[in-house]
Amino acid sequence: MSVHSFQVNVSHGEEVGLDTFKGKVMLIVNTASKCGLTPQYEGLEKLYETYKEKGFTVLGFPCNQFGGQEPGTDEEISYFCSLNYDVKFPIFQKIEVNGENAHPLYQYLREQAPEEEKLDENGTLYKHLRANAPKLLEGSTIKWNFTKFLIDQDGNVVKRFSPTTTPEEIEGDIEKILAK
């Protein structure tokens, strides 16, 4: 099994098999439009534009499970991404990434890469989670918006990055996989 085994819905509703991305390096990200980390869309789009001709793509999966920071409809989310960040990488329908209603893709991603880089214990996000949602700091749960999974050309999960890891910090990892 690999990431290529899953079906997802693009923001306008069409079902797409992730096998359409076979041979490409992917960065799968749960996103939100009203989060302090939302400006990461700019860096994600820059990565996409820089490496798309070399076989790379970003896949954005909006999620409203973290502080209600993605309240819009799929259409509103797509419009926001296009208008504010000129996003051209695929944005999918809003999904859940944790809990019993988590999308099967995210269940698989969490199983394949249960650990992410540790959050900075002095950082704002860690302090917020510790005070308000300590269960999110446990186990393989997605900790917050903009958790990132790097996937190789064969659909294997290579690495999981914390929400506070910027797209720019991932660029070297992307280049290594593209060079294989």
* Residues known to be catalytic: 35
CA distances 73 to 60, 89, 145, 149, Å, are 15, 18, 17, 24
Q: Are 25 and 56 in contact (CB under 8 A)?
A: yes
What phi and psi values does residue 115 have, to the nearest 5 degrees?
-110, 140
Whole-angstrom distance, CA of residue 123 vs CA of residue 40: 17
Question: If you count them, how many residues does the chain have?
Answer: 180
Single out the residue of 163, 178, 154 nearest to residue 51, CA to CA: 178
Tell me, what amino acid is at 16? Answer: V
What are the residues facing 132 on neighbouring strands?
Answer: none
Whole-angstrom distance, CA of residue 69 vs CA of residue 117: 23
Q: What angle do CA 83, 84, 87 make, to 5 degrees?
A: 75
